[in-house]
Structure 1
Amino acid sequence: MDKQYATAAEAVADIPDGSSIAVGGFGLVGVPIVLIRALLESKTTDLEVVSNNCGVDGWGLGLLLSAGRIRRIIASYIGENKEFARQYLGGEVEVELTPQGSLAERLRAGGVGIPAFYTASGVGTVVSEGGMPWRYDSNGAITLASPAKPTATFDSLGDAKEYVLEKAIRTDYALVRAAKGDRHGNLVFEKSTRNFNPLAAMAGRITIAEVDELVEPGALDPDEVHLPGIYVDRVVVLSREEATDLPIEKTTVRPRPADSSTGTETN
């Protein structure tokens, strides 16, 4: 089955208002930016987004956020997105913060048909006991808080511990970015872009992948495939310019060591 779409705009055209969307990436790594921009152009709104974070100001999911298209976010941290923090604290967007490992497993569980699972992460905190602010009003008062979650004690190798029940995440759509893919939807991810992309792809009922390089079916060694095509419904190949649009989230430099003979910095 050929799953290639001619453009990103065509691939996201049927995403309706109010959809839930799992989005791959971490910071600026592995972000499906072309699909996000196409979704921005489509004017789709009232979205619930599930992603490790919500991009940065002016890039990635930050584009949809600043345009007021996102209603609710499930993420592991707010990061350095000032607009994200402003909207959350100002009561403009609902945010469900989840431990990063739990978020990853909730996405994976949704993809493989596990409805819920127990984990030790968050036991004894507001994650399990409830009360984490999900929404504020414009004056900073909490208007919606997380509910308490079921807990249970399990004995593992003679060591009884308490665990909290986390529900799986299943979304209407998923947007992901891969280094390479074929027309059947088999995907290969580049290094750390393999963090949340496969998990987001698994969680979506309809998964759309943008790929830097498209190859014919059979060209990928089965051992090379990180995500099988059964999880992918649509594939969009990027132009060279789109594939190389990879900004650096934070540039850090250090002084060059001084030349002891001259007292000046060396090149």
Structure 2
Amino acid sequence: MHVLVLGGTAEARRLAELLTARPDTRVTTSLAGRVAAPRTPPGALRIGGFGGAEGLAGWLRAHAVAAVVDATHPFADTISRNAAHAAALTGVPLLVLRRPGWAAVAGDDWREAGSLAQAAALLPALGRRVFLTTGRMGLAAFANLEELWFLVRSVEPPEGPCPARREVLLDRGPFTLDGERELLRRHRVDVLVTKDSGGAATAPKLTAAREAGLPVVVVRRPPVPDGVPVVTGPEAAARWVGLSGPGRPEFPPG
């Protein structure tokens, strides 16, 4: 059976490893192409968009795809919506693989925001030196905060309008707790902004902020499309694939 994995995450790579080990399964992982040197998974690789939901539906039909796993970044909501629409158009089973989000613990000073714009609106009351870890896209939401200074960390150089007072740090996780502590100290950071990406690779910044008594603005995830089953680990997704091919029963959500 041919499985399409919408990838770009560590969970997607692990799922591709599990599926390519099966003699009866062929895997294609699709990447958006926004990172110049992505970490590539085993199996076939596809780079670039599909042309919306209808384009994805056409690709599924043309390549006889038996199941789709959306293992994209938790904030890649456009492709997630397109995948749900394409699955509805074609009848191809769809699963969402999302790692759990982060949860505040004792000592955390978190402020939730529903969007980058809402996060930006909170900042003037919280500090003047901002560690911004929301990625290279969407920095325009912070561009008008001229009185604030930003340390912008991303894998690739930022795109579009950016805050005028900024330093860009190009780096890719996993990050260490000692490294994050030193970063906050050296740059005299007094507020952290992050998306609720979840996972261990970038979580040390939250511990470092808690230890330093810094406020953290956490941007909430967009919701998963209605009616699509969700699992939180690659192993569960691999089991779902084994049960979702032609003539096989549908794997239950969760």
TM-score where L is the length of structure 1:
0.30
Q: Which has the higher strand share?
A: 1
Task: Give the helix-richer structure, 1 or 2.
Answer: 2
Report the TM-score when normalising by structure 2: 0.31
